[in-house]
Structures are given as C-alpha cells and as structure tokens.
Structure 1
Amino acid sequence: MKEHDQRGLAIFSGKNFTRPTAYVLLLSLSYALGYLSSSSVSTKEQASRIEETPQSNTPRKNATTDSTISLQSEPDHFHFTTQCADPIPSKLVRRTIIDRVFNGTNPYDGFPPAHVSHLLRRKRIKGWGSTGAVFENLIRKVKPRTIIEVGTFLGASAIHMAELTKRLGIRTQILCVDDFRGWPGFRDRFRDIGMVNGDVMLLYQFMQNVAHVNATESVLPVPFSTGSALEKLCEWGVLGDLIEVDAGHDFHSAWSDINRAYKILRPGGVIFGHDYFTGADNKGVRRAVNLFARVKGLRILLDGQHWVIDSP
C-alpha cells in the first residue's frame, strides 16, 4: 500500500476522528456520488431523445396521417353525441320543429311583430356562393325531402334551394340552423341591420326575406348555436337528405359542425359546404374537411368553391 493511502486510512481511523464527523462525511460523499450518477443518466436520456426526434427541417410526407392516427387514439375528438334516435319520417319534420322549438306555434304567424316591423327592410338578401351550380346539381341528384343548412345568415342559399325544389317539383322542408347573432363587427358591413336593446335583427330580417319570396311553408329557422341544435336534431331523430355546412370557418368550428352534421345525414345523402378554397388555406375549412374524409375513409368532390362528400 502506498504511503499516501496509508495516511488516508489513518485520518479515518485516528482517535481524533469522531463518529459524528465520519457519519457526516460519508453522507456527503454518498449524496455527491448519487448526484453525479443521476446527471450522467439524464444526459444520456436527453441525447437519446434528441437522436430519436426528426430534424425540424426534414419534410414529413405523412404529417396528415400522423395527425389522423393521433386523433384516432383520442376518442373524445369524435365523441360528439350519443346515439341518434330512430329517424322520424320526413313528413313529420316540420311539425316536430314547430312543436319542440316554437311550442307548437308557427313562428311566421303574426309576423312581423309591431315593435320591429319598422326596422326591417322589405328584402335584404345577402350571401356568399349562395347560387352556385352545386345547389341544383345536388338537389337534382339527391331529391331531398329534408335539407338542413348549418349557418344561414340572411337566408340567401336557403331561399335559393327553396326556389329550386319548388321548380323541380320536390316537396322539401329546409331547416336553417343559426344563432342569428352574426359575428363581432358584422354591423360594420351591414349598417342597415337594426338593433333593439342589443338584439340584432338578423332573425327577423331572415324571416322577412323568407316571407318576401313566399317560402314560409318550406323554410324554418332553428335559432340556436350549431352545436346545440345539431345535438338536439340527433336526439329527436331529425335527419337530413342534404346538409350544407357553412357556419364557422376556423378549423375547430368547421370540424365540430361537420362531425355533428354527418351523424344526422340519412343513408344515401350528401353533406357539402362552402369556402374550401380561401386565404386560410389548410388552416380552416379545408383542413377540417380533409381530415374528416381521411378519418372516415370518404372521398371529397369539388364543385367550384364547394366541397362535397357522399355518404357511403
């Protein structure tokens, strides 16, 4: 044994080295060794994770597929409602909505009420892509008895579909789902839409537009948020042969509306919507539509600015 090793032993075994002191030194030494060991393992694990993570500038050909797999592993992303009720006959749809939404009274009876009549324009019909060829193409194809429009604003496309079904001799009930509140700032573009005690007149102006073209027997408003209304239609067994989704245009709103609407689509029906090509590109409606079709294994058809998905 070397001389300096012998001196080290003497330090620990000498009479002047007390037991408490030895205990403190041993504890400190153990702590130091444990810390160094932990740091070494942590560094190795971090290095391993870095090696396993693809570089940020490496293109990912299956990015959408990866997102789909992630969503499929999270059932809450698809659990929008319980099982829908058995479908009611198309001839009972109008009566069901009047009974459950309007307490049995036709909302057009006595319209317009005196306190808003002076605020309404005789006709104020405005929409975007509301008279495209896709409407007649799909109505001729599906011959729908029930049409559900998700997002209606002033009713331009609903009125166009009512005129088409009448001209084609198809007896159709059109349900317009909208909270009729517009969006923050919409009155900057529609200054002629009145307001009473904070209540914008969108619902009343929509009804005035419908009355103006004599479509009150075929067009009914369902004045609630799209999510809550579609849930209730599902629970009531109100299904659509043709469903247009054109409400919120951000990804999350469109994703929610498309999933909920698809649950109330009759077999053989068609779901479609507007704004597939917009400045939002793949961050809004298009992303929601593409992801939905991929997850469900469905094919997207395009008709101008509109996307179209047939039921299986």
Structure 2
Amino acid sequence: MYNHPAAAAMRKATLPPVPPPTTTTSSLRFRGKIWSENNYTKTIGFTLLLFLAYSLGKYSASKPVLLLPLPPPPSESISVETKNTVENKNDGIIEREDHPVDIINSDDHNIFGTVCPAAVDHPNPNPKLVRQTIIDRVFSGVSPWSDFPPPHVGKFLRPRKIHGWGSTGAVFRNLIQKVKPKIIIEVGTFLGASALHMVQLTRELGLSDTQILCVDDFRGWPGFQKDKDIRTVNGDVMLLYQFMQNVIQANASESVIFLPFSTGSGLESLCQWGVYGDLIEVDAGHDFHSAWSDISRAYKILRPGGVLFGHDYFTAADNRGVRRAVQLFAKVKHLRVEADGQHWVLHDDSIGN
C-alpha cells in the first residue's frame, strides 16, 4: 500500500489520544505507608542510639577510673652509677678513692658528696693557722672580737649569762685528757656553756694553744628567748652577741672562734677549707634527720685518731632521734658506741681508738 504522507497524517489524527498516567488512591496509600514505616524506623533507631549513649555515659561515670600501671622504666634507668668517695685514713694522710655505686640499690643516704681536701695545716696541726683561716674565710680577715660589743647592742647584753645542758659532764675531761686535741669543733653552741668549760679544761691540762671552733647559727628556736630571757631587737635575737659577751667575760676570745651558720653549711665549709678536728662534739638538732646529717658531716672532718662524741644519748630531748642516728651511723661505719653519762662516744676499734 502506498504510504502517502497525507494518508499517514489522516490515520494518526483518527487514533484516540493516550491518556496521561494517573495515580490511584490505593497507590497513594501504599506509598504513604512505606514513607511512614521508614520514618518510624529511623525515629526508633535514633531514640535507641541516644538511650544507649546516655546509659554508657552514666555507667562509666558511676565506676572508678581504672588506671593501668605504667610500664617499668627502661633497664638503663636502674643501672645508673655514680662515684662513692671512700676515705682511707693512714699515717695522718687522708686518701680518697672513687668506687662505682648503684644509686638505686645502695645505701646512698649516708653519702655526703663534698670531698674534703688535705688539711690546711697538714702535716702538723697548727691551731693558729686554723684560727686565721676561719677569720679570713668568714670575717674577711678582721677578728669578730675587735671593738666588741657594737654600741647599738651593748645595752641589751648581760655581763654574763651562761646556760646549757650537760655542759660540764665528765666526758669532756675524759676525752680531752685522752686525745689532747689541738682543734676542737663544737656543733651546736647556744650560749657557750660547754665551749667555755672546754676552754677551762684545756688550760688546766696545759693545752693553752687549743682552738675551739663553734658552729651554730645562733638563732635558737621559736619562742626560746621568752624562757631564756634573751632580748630581740627588730627581729634580731641577741643570742650571738650574748654568746660573744660570755666569751669576752671568760677571757677566752683568743681560744674561741665561731662560724655563725647552720650546722650543715658550717660543717661543709670546714670540709671545703680543709679544716679538721681532733675532737668534735655534736649537740645541735635532736630529731633523727638533723642528728644524722650533723654526725655524718662531722665525721668527714675528723682527723685520723680523733674522737667524735655528742650529747642527748640518754635524755628526754633525745626522743629516740639522736640515739637512733648514732646507732645507725655506728653500724654503717663499723664503729662502737660507748655511753658516758648523757653523752655518746664513737670508737674505731680497728685503730685502737
């Protein structure tokens, strides 16, 4: 059949039009149901997630935090070594050797690091040289006894005010007779009762050139001046000046010199300057740590053949501090402790001390 364009157009015009797509009520309901179910599912899921997060937060807050132990430090941190200075006191010469020490496992609490040089008066004890060393180092070469007392404090001082504890015990005469010291170091002086007693003993025993070095900060302790009737001027307690007045009154200024510092600082300075004592008395702090420090530092500057002793071995002031420190130190250094009245005396039996 011949397809003429006009005929084709005529046939197309006679065909019924195709209706547009229509949405039935049932299909709309079906699609709405699907949307509602999806939305409901999302809402439920979000709610459950929120509840779960809240529950976990509340649970974790109600439980203590568990701290896991830290891993051990690297092995090299426990193998650190240092140098322990060991003293050999032979023939009057103090030799020192360095030995490696495990600082973690060793008893390094008894190691006081400052190395003391050779004695300033080596090889022969020279009290005058030691005295001048103190005057030069502490007082810039000018004797503290010169022009004493200063005008502004003289009116606050008593001509003589002596007070001490166990300051005249038999131990002083016993040890001075035995050791015949050229240099006596007193750690803890207060008003100078025991120092002046030792001055008297050295004179009686013909040791007139003996020098007594007193190490004390001369500050006392809180409230002590009320009981001891020591004046205070603008916060400065007159303890040092009263001590000096007592020495002047006893005509002992040529035999006594002092270091007005804490015992730790004073003893370390003596060590650094090479000042050693033939006889050293420790009578300062009475708690364990103070006594331990004073005894340890004093022992470093004890001349070979010298004797270290102290007070409050059998007194109420000991409070177990002094006695424990003495006994522990003797154990560490392999020394023997002897009680002499209220005092303790350390002996080194290896050298017949």
Normalised TM-score (structure 1) = 0.75
CA contact 2:190–2:220 (8 Å) conserved in 1: yes
**Cα gap change, 1:281 to 1:235, in 2 (>3 Å):** closer
The offset of 1:81, in angstroms, is 3.0
> What is the SS of the residue equivalent to 2:305?
strand
1:152-231 paired onto structure 2 within 5 Å:
152-170=189-207, 171-191=209-229, 193-231=230-268
Which residue in 1 is equivalent to 2:312?
A: 275
The offset of 1:216, in angstroms, is 0.3
Which residue in 2 is equivalent to 1:81?
A: 113
**Cα gap change, 1:257 to 1:184, in 2 (>3 Å):** same
Partners of 2:105 and 2:276 lie apart in 1 by 28
Partners of 1:169 and 1:177 lie apart in 2 by 24
Partners of 2:107 and 2:117 lie apart in 1 by 21
Given residue 280 of structure 2, which amino acid in structure 1 is its aligned partner?
I
Partners of 1:252 and 1:98 lie apart in 2 by 30
Instruction: Indicate whether 1:238 and 2:275 are aligned.
Output: yes
1:254-265 paired onto structure 2 within 5 Å:
254-265=291-302
Q: Which runs of no fewer than 5 residues in structure 1 stay unpaired?
A: 1-70
Partners of 1:238 and 1:176 lie apart in 2 by 13
CA contact 1:84–1:264 (8 Å) conserved in 2: yes
CA contact 1:268–1:310 (8 Å) conserved in 2: no
Given residue 206 of structure 1, which amino acid in structure 2 is its aligned partner?
F
Given residue 187 of structure 2, which amino acid in structure 1 is its aligned partner?
V
> What is the SS of the residue equivalent to 1:189?
helix
The offset of 1:196, in angstroms, is 1.2
Partners of 1:271 and 1:263 lie apart in 2 by 10
Partners of 1:291 and 1:150 lie apart in 2 by 19
Partners of 1:265 and 1:196 lie apart in 2 by 37
Aligned length: 243
Given residue 211 of structure 2, which amino acid in structure 1 is its aligned partner?
Q
Coordinate RMSD, CA, aligned? 1.8
**Cα gap change, 1:135 to 1:72, in 2 (>3 Å):** farther
Higher strand share: 2
The offset of 1:166, in angstroms, is 1.0
1:38-187 paired onto structure 2 within 5 Å:
73-89=105-121, 90-91=125-126, 92-170=129-207, 171-187=209-225
> What is the SS of the residue equivalent to 1:175?
strand
**Cα gap change, 1:258 to 1:199, in 2 (>3 Å):** same
The offset of 1:88, in angstroms, is 1.6
CA contact 2:287–2:319 (8 Å) conserved in 1: no
Given residue 265 of structure 2, which amino acid in structure 1 is its aligned partner?
S
Partners of 1:281 and 1:219 lie apart in 2 by 28
CA contact 1:239–1:266 (8 Å) conserved in 2: yes
CA contact 1:272–1:306 (8 Å) conserved in 2: yes
Larger RCO (alpha carbons 8 Å, 6+ apart): 1
The offset of 1:80, in angstroms, is 1.7
Given residue 173 of structure 1, which amino acid in structure 2 is its aligned partner?
Q
The offset of 1:109, in angstroms, is 0.3
**Cα gap change, 1:256 to 1:187, in 2 (>3 Å):** same
Which residue in 2 is equivalent to 1:251?
A: 288
Partners of 1:194 and 1:93 lie apart in 2 by 32
Given residue 255 of structure 2, which amino acid in structure 1 is its aligned partner?
S
Partners of 1:179 and 1:140 lie apart in 2 by 29
CA contact 1:81–1:231 (8 Å) conserved in 2: no
Given residue 221 of structure 2, which amino acid in structure 1 is its aligned partner?
W
After superposition, what is the alpha-carbon deviation per residue over 1:97-149, rounded to whole angstroms, capped at 9, x for unaligned? 00000000000000000000000000001000000000000000000000000
1:293-308 paired onto structure 2 within 5 Å:
293-308=330-345
CA contact 2:185–2:277 (8 Å) conserved in 1: yes
**Cα gap change, 1:102 to 1:130, in 2 (>3 Å):** same
